[in-house]
Amino acid sequence: MALLERVRTLIRANLNDLIDKAEDPEKMLKQLILDMENQLLQVKTQVAVSIADQHMLEKKHQENAEKAVEWMHKAELAVDKKQDDLARAALERHQGYVQLAENFQEQVADQKVQVENLKSALGKLEQKLTEARAKGDLLIAQHRRSRASLRASQARMSMGNTSKTAAFDRLQHRVMQSEAVSEAHAEMAEDNLEERLQGLDREDRINQLLADLKSRRTAS
Protein backbone atom coordinates (compact mmCIF):
# COMPACT_ATOMS: atom_id res chain seq x y z
CA MET A 1 0.00 0.00 0.00
CA ALA A 2 1.46 3.36 -1.11
CA LEU A 3 0.15 5.11 2.01
CA LEU A 4 1.98 2.76 4.35
CA GLU A 5 5.18 3.11 2.32
CA ARG A 6 5.04 6.90 2.65
CA VAL A 7 4.43 6.53 6.39
CA ARG A 8 7.40 4.16 6.71
CA THR A 9 9.61 6.76 5.03
CA LEU A 10 8.52 9.44 7.47
CA ILE A 11 8.95 7.18 10.49
CA ARG A 12 12.50 6.30 9.46
CA ALA A 13 13.50 9.92 8.96
CA ASN A 14 16.48 10.93 11.09
CA LEU A 15 16.04 14.54 12.12
CA ASN A 16 19.69 15.14 12.89
CA ASP A 17 20.83 13.88 9.49
CA LEU A 18 18.17 15.92 7.71
CA ILE A 19 19.20 19.08 9.51
CA ASP A 20 22.88 18.50 8.75
CA LYS A 21 22.09 18.18 5.04
CA ALA A 22 19.47 20.93 4.75
CA GLU A 23 20.30 24.34 3.36
CA ASP A 24 17.45 25.79 5.43
CA PRO A 25 16.90 23.53 8.48
CA GLU A 26 13.95 25.53 9.84
CA LYS A 27 12.08 25.36 6.55
CA MET A 28 12.91 21.67 6.18
CA LEU A 29 11.64 20.82 9.68
CA LYS A 30 8.41 22.75 9.19
CA GLN A 31 7.80 20.93 5.91
CA LEU A 32 8.57 17.55 7.50
CA ILE A 33 6.12 18.18 10.33
CA LEU A 34 3.49 19.32 7.83
CA ASP A 35 4.00 16.14 5.80
CA MET A 36 3.63 14.03 8.95
CA GLU A 37 0.43 15.83 9.90
CA ASN A 38 -1.03 15.28 6.42
CA GLN A 39 -0.09 11.60 6.41
CA LEU A 40 -1.46 11.20 9.94
CA LEU A 41 -4.83 12.50 8.79
CA GLN A 42 -4.82 10.12 5.83
CA VAL A 43 -3.91 7.12 8.00
CA LYS A 44 -6.68 7.97 10.49
CA THR A 45 -9.17 8.13 7.63
CA GLN A 46 -7.92 4.83 6.20
CA VAL A 47 -8.15 3.14 9.61
CA ALA A 48 -11.79 4.20 9.89
CA VAL A 49 -12.56 2.99 6.35
CA SER A 50 -10.78 -0.34 6.94
CA ILE A 51 -12.65 -0.96 10.20
CA ALA A 52 -15.95 -0.21 8.43
CA ASP A 53 -14.99 -2.67 5.66
CA GLN A 54 -14.16 -5.30 8.29
CA HIS A 55 -17.57 -4.90 9.90
CA MET A 56 -19.25 -5.21 6.50
CA LEU A 57 -17.35 -8.42 5.73
CA GLU A 58 -18.21 -9.84 9.15
CA LYS A 59 -21.87 -9.07 8.50
CA LYS A 60 -21.73 -10.80 5.09
CA HIS A 61 -20.09 -13.83 6.68
CA GLN A 62 -22.82 -14.01 9.32
CA GLU A 63 -25.62 -13.62 6.76
CA ASN A 64 -24.31 -16.45 4.60
CA ALA A 65 -23.72 -18.71 7.59
CA GLU A 66 -27.34 -18.17 8.63
CA LYS A 67 -28.52 -18.89 5.08
CA ALA A 68 -26.58 -22.16 5.12
CA VAL A 69 -28.38 -23.21 8.31
CA GLU A 70 -31.72 -22.16 6.82
CA TRP A 71 -31.24 -24.28 3.70
CA MET A 72 -30.14 -27.26 5.75
CA HIS A 73 -33.44 -27.05 7.63
CA LYS A 74 -35.26 -26.97 4.29
CA ALA A 75 -33.35 -30.04 3.14
CA GLU A 76 -34.35 -31.84 6.34
CA LEU A 77 -37.99 -30.96 5.73
CA ALA A 78 -37.78 -32.27 2.16
CA VAL A 79 -36.30 -35.55 3.40
CA ASP A 80 -39.13 -35.88 5.92
CA LYS A 81 -41.58 -35.44 3.04
CA LYS A 82 -39.74 -38.02 0.93
CA GLN A 83 -38.88 -35.35 -1.64
CA ASP A 84 -35.33 -36.30 -2.61
CA ASP A 85 -35.17 -33.85 -5.52
CA LEU A 86 -36.13 -30.96 -3.28
CA ALA A 87 -33.73 -32.16 -0.61
CA ARG A 88 -30.92 -32.34 -3.16
CA ALA A 89 -31.68 -28.83 -4.41
CA ALA A 90 -31.80 -27.51 -0.85
CA LEU A 91 -28.45 -29.12 -0.09
CA GLU A 92 -27.02 -27.50 -3.21
CA ARG A 93 -28.07 -24.11 -1.89
CA HIS A 94 -26.78 -25.01 1.56
CA GLN A 95 -23.35 -25.83 0.15
CA GLY A 96 -23.30 -22.62 -1.85
CA TYR A 97 -23.90 -20.51 1.24
CA VAL A 98 -21.34 -22.52 3.22
CA GLN A 99 -18.75 -21.71 0.55
CA LEU A 100 -19.67 -18.04 0.56
CA ALA A 101 -19.46 -17.91 4.35
CA GLU A 102 -15.99 -19.46 4.25
CA ASN A 103 -14.85 -16.99 1.58
CA PHE A 104 -16.07 -14.04 3.61
CA GLN A 105 -14.36 -15.47 6.69
CA GLU A 106 -11.05 -15.45 4.81
CA GLN A 107 -11.62 -11.86 3.75
CA VAL A 108 -12.38 -10.91 7.35
CA ALA A 109 -9.04 -12.42 8.43
CA ASP A 110 -7.18 -10.48 5.71
CA GLN A 111 -8.98 -7.27 6.63
CA LYS A 112 -8.09 -7.66 10.30
CA VAL A 113 -4.40 -7.85 9.35
CA GLN A 114 -4.72 -4.67 7.30
CA VAL A 115 -6.50 -2.87 10.14
CA GLU A 116 -3.78 -3.88 12.61
CA ASN A 117 -1.07 -2.73 10.19
CA LEU A 118 -2.74 0.64 9.81
CA LYS A 119 -3.25 1.02 13.56
CA SER A 120 0.41 0.20 14.15
CA ALA A 121 1.50 2.72 11.52
CA LEU A 122 -0.80 5.33 13.03
CA GLY A 123 0.65 4.87 16.51
CA LYS A 124 4.24 5.04 15.29
CA LEU A 125 3.57 8.09 13.14
CA GLU A 126 1.91 9.90 16.07
CA GLN A 127 4.97 9.11 18.19
CA LYS A 128 7.32 10.32 15.45
CA LEU A 129 5.32 13.53 14.99
CA THR A 130 5.48 14.26 18.73
CA GLU A 131 9.21 13.60 18.63
CA ALA A 132 9.69 15.80 15.57
CA ARG A 133 7.83 18.69 17.21
CA ALA A 134 9.85 18.44 20.42
CA LYS A 135 13.20 17.81 18.76
CA GLY A 136 12.42 20.29 16.04
CA ASP A 137 12.00 23.13 18.51
CA LEU A 138 15.31 22.19 20.15
CA LEU A 139 17.20 21.79 16.89
CA ILE A 140 15.81 24.99 15.42
CA ALA A 141 16.85 26.85 18.57
CA GLN A 142 20.33 25.37 18.30
CA HIS A 143 20.48 26.26 14.64
CA ARG A 144 19.48 29.84 15.40
CA ARG A 145 22.12 30.08 18.11
CA SER A 146 24.67 28.69 15.70
CA ARG A 147 23.78 31.30 13.10
CA ALA A 148 23.90 34.06 15.72
CA SER A 149 27.28 32.78 16.88
CA LEU A 150 28.50 32.71 13.31
CA ARG A 151 27.39 36.29 12.72
CA ALA A 152 29.06 37.37 15.97
CA SER A 153 32.22 35.55 14.98
CA GLN A 154 32.19 37.17 11.58
CA ALA A 155 31.79 40.56 13.21
CA ARG A 156 34.73 39.89 15.50
CA MET A 157 36.74 38.63 12.54
CA SER A 158 36.10 41.87 10.74
CA MET A 159 37.56 43.70 13.75
CA GLY A 160 40.47 41.28 13.97
CA ASN A 161 39.44 39.74 17.31
CA THR A 162 39.33 36.17 16.06
CA SER A 163 40.09 34.02 13.04
CA LYS A 164 37.75 32.46 10.50
CA THR A 165 38.91 28.98 11.52
CA ALA A 166 38.10 29.57 15.21
CA ALA A 167 34.60 30.83 14.33
CA PHE A 168 33.96 27.80 12.18
CA ASP A 169 35.17 25.47 14.95
CA ARG A 170 32.79 27.03 17.46
CA LEU A 171 29.87 26.74 15.05
CA GLN A 172 30.70 23.12 14.33
CA HIS A 173 30.93 22.38 18.06
CA ARG A 174 27.43 23.78 18.66
CA VAL A 175 25.90 21.79 15.82
CA MET A 176 27.43 18.54 17.10
CA GLN A 177 25.73 18.98 20.52
CA SER A 178 22.36 17.85 19.09
CA GLU A 179 21.03 14.64 20.57
CA ALA A 180 20.53 11.75 18.17
CA VAL A 181 16.96 10.92 17.34
CA SER A 182 16.27 7.21 17.53
CA GLU A 183 14.87 5.70 14.40
CA ALA A 184 11.48 4.09 14.58
CA HIS A 185 11.17 1.10 12.32
CA ALA A 186 7.73 0.19 11.10
CA GLU A 187 7.41 -3.47 10.71
CA MET A 188 4.23 -4.21 8.85
CA ALA A 189 3.25 -7.63 9.52
CA GLU A 190 2.02 -9.52 6.57
CA ASP A 191 0.08 -12.63 7.17
CA ASN A 192 -0.13 -15.16 4.36
CA LEU A 193 -3.05 -17.55 4.45
CA GLU A 194 -2.30 -21.14 3.70
CA GLU A 195 -3.83 -22.53 0.56
CA ARG A 196 -7.08 -24.32 1.24
CA LEU A 197 -7.34 -27.98 0.63
CA GLN A 198 -9.31 -29.00 -2.41
CA GLY A 199 -12.80 -30.22 -1.55
CA LEU A 200 -14.42 -33.39 -2.56
CA ASP A 201 -16.28 -33.52 -5.83
CA ARG A 202 -19.41 -31.38 -5.45
CA GLU A 203 -21.89 -34.00 -6.65
CA ASP A 204 -20.38 -36.66 -4.39
CA ARG A 205 -20.48 -34.25 -1.47
CA ILE A 206 -24.14 -33.49 -2.06
CA ASN A 207 -24.97 -37.21 -2.31
CA GLN A 208 -23.11 -37.85 0.94
CA LEU A 209 -24.92 -35.00 2.70
CA LEU A 210 -28.22 -36.34 1.42
CA ALA A 211 -27.42 -39.84 2.65
CA ASP A 212 -26.37 -38.52 6.07
CA LEU A 213 -29.46 -36.41 6.30
CA LYS A 214 -31.72 -39.34 5.44
CA SER A 215 -29.96 -41.45 8.02
CA ARG A 216 -30.47 -38.82 10.73
CA ARG A 217 -34.06 -38.24 9.85
CA THR A 218 -34.80 -41.99 9.75
CA ALA A 219 -33.13 -42.50 13.10
CA SER A 220 -35.19 -39.72 14.65
Per-residue pLDDT tens for 121-168?
889 888 888 888 887 777 777 767 766 776 766 666 655 544 555 554
CA distance 115 to 43: 11
pTM (two decimals): 0.59
CA distance 101 to 96: 9
* 48-52, 83-87, 185-189, 197-201: range with lowest mean pLDDT: 185-189
pLDDT, position 107: 97
Q: What angle do CA 47, 51, 53 make, to 5 degrees?
A: 115
Highest mean pLDDT among 17-31, 67-81, 161-175: 67-81
Higher pLDDT, 4 or 196: 4
Say whether pLDDT at 17 is over 80. no
pLDDT, position 189: 40
CA distance 78 to 121: 53
Are 71 and 94 in contact by the 8 Å Cβ rule? The answer is yes
* 56-65, 106-115, 155-164, 188-197: range with lowest mean pLDDT: 188-197
CA distance 15 to 35: 14
Are 163 and 157 in contact by the 8 Å Cβ rule? The answer is yes
CA distance 23 to 31: 13
Mean pLDDT of the chain: 77
